[in-house]
Amino acid sequence: MKRLIFVFFIGILLSACAPATAPAPANQTLILATTTSTQDSGLLDVLIPLFETETGYKVQTVAVGTGQALKMGEEGNADVLLVHAPSSEKNFMDGRFGKDRALVMHNDFIIVGPAADPAGIKGKSVADALKAIYANGATFVSRGDDSGTNKAELTLWTKVKLDPKTEKPAWYLETGQGMGATLTVASEKNAYTLTDRATYLASKAGLQLDILVEKDNALLNVYHVITVNPEKWPKVNYDGAIAFYKFMTEASTQDVIGRFGVDKYGQQLFVPDAGKTDADLGLP
């Protein structure tokens, strides 16, 4: 009898010490539309399991360009977005397609290319680098997929009053694919491309591409989390979306984001920004 009582007591003690499991939400499925960079960098492989364990939701991740992710939100085909095209995001919010929007993190864009650097852009400003690529007709690979990276690239061309997308010179190639695939194409063709730093570092081992242009103020790459507005789309999982919104901006998650990549690459791939405003980062 004493042994049974002892075993019973130990069972209660172990149960009390076991980590709490989140109760299953009424609607467990959460559709996250996000950029390929958050997927290709490996960040979501770390964050999504943490979120699912903490909340009980099951996330269906759709990694596409930001333009496509915003379109999914506009059509009510996603519950929450993690994207990086601030001007397009503001249009999304102005159209009342989004309900809540918050800064999550930032990293930066870089221009990479072959070590031989045929256009001689290494160390130049972004503006001078693009002008040199254009003048030399050096092969440049664009995502061409309306992603946040593609939007940023086209904006940079516009700022130097050049428009290879419309002109379609032979040296300007569009893949219509994500960042990882576009980097592979650029490597195979000894070409230049614009990429986010995180995806480049995560893919670097398989590429013949060097960082040639970086740390220019024009290369800031900012990510926001946005919930899809249930007033427009009553069937969206807003409870799950707001849970993800809160998860991405809470201190413990921000700490994980800030440490991501340091052990493997010797540098953080994303800088946590929860609690900041766009103005804090110099955005209009």
The CATH number of residue 186's host domain is: 3.40.190.10
**What total number of domains does the chain contain?**
2
* 124 and 189 share one domain: yes
Residue 13 falls within a domain, yes or no? no
Mean pLDDT to the nearest integer, 48-73:
95
pLDDT of residue 271: 94
Range of weakest confidence among 3-7, 230-234, 267-271 = 3-7
Tens digit of pLDDT for each residue in 233-266? 999 999 999 999 999 999 999 999 999 999 988 8
| Contact between residue 263 and residue 142 where contact means Cβ atoms under 8 Å apart | no
Domain stops at, among 219, 242, 261: 219
Mean pLDDT to the nearest integer, 57-71:
94
pLDDT of residue 283: 80
pLDDT of residue 22: 62
* 201 and 230 share one domain: no
* 145 and 201 share one domain: yes
Examine the pLDDT at 146 and tell me if it is beyond 80.
yes
User: DSSP label at 236?
Assistant: S
pLDDT of residue 2: 43
* 63 and 102 share one domain: yes
Residue 20 falls within a domain, yes or no? no
* 61 and 202 share one domain: no
pLDDT of residue 217: 85
* 103 and 227 share one domain: yes
Beta bridge partners of 194: 111
* Long-range contacts (CB closer than 8 Å, 24 or more residues apart) made by 185-191: 185/141, 186/112, 186/113, 186/141, 189/139, 189/141, 190/113, 190/114, 190/116, 190/118, 190/139, 191/113, 191/114, 191/138, 191/139, 191/140, 191/141
* 121 and 148 share one domain: yes
* 99 and 235 share one domain: yes
Examine the pLDDT at 8 and tell me if it is beyond 80.
no
Residue 165 falls within a domain, yes or no? yes
**Run of H or E residues at 6:** helix 2-17
Residue 11 falls within a domain, yes or no? no
Local confidence band at 21 (pLDDT 50, 70, 90 cut-offs): low
Tell me how far apart the alpha carbons of residues 178 and 58 are, in angstroms, rounded to a whole number. Answer: 24
Residue 69 falls within a domain, yes or no? yes
Examine the pLDDT at 98 and tell me if it is beyond 90.
yes
* 147 and 160 share one domain: yes
pLDDT of residue 256: 97
117 lies in which domain range?
A: 108-219
Range of weakest confidence among 2-11, 58-67, 83-92, 202-211 = 2-11
Domain stops at, among 203, 219, 235: 219
* 130 and 43 share one domain: no
Residue 204 falls within a domain, yes or no? yes
Torsion angle of the four alpha carbons 276, 278, 281, 282, in this order, in degrees rounded to the nearest 10: -150
Mean pLDDT to the nearest integer, 153-165:
97
* 154 and 55 share one domain: no
Examine the pLDDT at 163 and tell me if it is beyond 70.
yes
Higher per-residue confidence, 267 vs 142: 142
Tell me how far apart the alpha carbons of residues 99 and 93 are, in angstroms, rounded to a whole number. Answer: 7
Higher per-residue confidence, 22 vs 191: 191
* 137 and 81 share one domain: no
Residue 134 falls within a domain, yes or no? yes
Domain stops at, among 219, 248, 270: 219
Residue 14 falls within a domain, yes or no? no
Average pLDDT, the chain: 91
